[in-house]
Amino acid sequence: MSDRILVLVRHGQSEWNLKNLFTGWRDPDLTEQGISEAKRAGALLKAEGLKFDVAFTSDLTRAQKTLGLILGEMGQEGVPTTRNVALNERDYGDLAGLNKDDARAKWGEDQVHIWRRSYDIAPPGGESLRDTVARTLPYYVQEILPCVLRGQVTLVAAHGNSLRALIMTLEKLSPEGIMKRELNTGVPIIYKLAADSTVAEKRDLVP
């Protein structure tokens, strides 16, 4: 029986991560460090002996490039890949492009933390994590999960909050639990799913 392997990876450091700007649906490129992180993720996945059958990514450059660099490092450039806007980062609305420290100075540390990490409070003009779950989870259930359950080794390269939205279900986290779940750039998480699509095993591939 196949292993039902799903790998999630947040993109490498972006130009706006480096500049400490709210990013959301804006489309900055990877930094040099981000490129290295993506290549390192590829090397770690290669060392695990993984051979991907299928890959998914968002409509945004930083995730697409991360995926390309990972597959390039693994010598698996030909893996069939689907790009979909459903995997895009949570839309930060009016905060996009603002400096996170400037936002804390203006609205206070607590308010900015609530906008960044709460489950159901949306930043002005943007999406809450719940809104993000409402678009990422159906896509996962309809498009990604069937591949995994069929035994296709599946890689998803996406974003901090679009992946947190999926991880909330995968790891059965409560709205309080998800507030504390952080994802590092370029660190793959390997899940083995049971036949009922719950997580049987999970491992962070830390360098």
Ligand X SMILES: O=C(O)[C@@H](CO)OP(=O)(O)O
**Does 13 participate in binding ligand X (rule CB under 6 A)?**
no
**Does 23 participate in binding ligand X (rule CB under 6 A)?**
yes
Structure tokens belonging to residue 123: 């930043």
Structure tokens belonging to residue 110: 């607590």
**Does 116 participate in binding ligand X (rule CB under 6 A)?**
yes
Q: Which of residues 128-167 bind ligand X (CB under 6 A)?
A: 160-161
From the CB of residue 105, how many other CB atoms can be counted at a distance below 10 Å?
11
**Does 88 participate in binding ligand X (rule CB under 6 A)?**
no
CB of 58 to ligand X, least distance (A): 12
182 included as an active-site residue? no
**Does 24 participate in binding ligand X (rule CB under 6 A)?**
yes
Q: Which of 37, 73, 89, 127 is catalytic?
A: 89
Q: List the strands of the sheet with 199-204, edge to edge.
A: 81-83, 54-57, 154-158, 5-10, 189-193, 199-204
Q: List the Cα angle 187/157/40 in 5-degree steps.
A: 40
Site size toward ligand X (CB under 6 A) is 9
Q: Please report the DSSP string for 134-199 in residue order.
A: HHHHHHIIIIIHHHHHTT--EEEEE-HHHHHHHHHHHTT--HHHHHT----TT--EEEEE-TTSSE
**Does 119 participate in binding ligand X (rule CB under 6 A)?**
no
Q: Give the binding range for ligand X (CB under 6 A) out of 17-25, 32-40, 45-53, 130-138.
A: 17-25
89 included as an active-site residue? yes
Q: Which residues are catalytic?
A: 11, 89
Summarize as ranges the residues that interact with ligand X (CB under 6 A).
17, 22-24, 89, 92, 116, 160-161
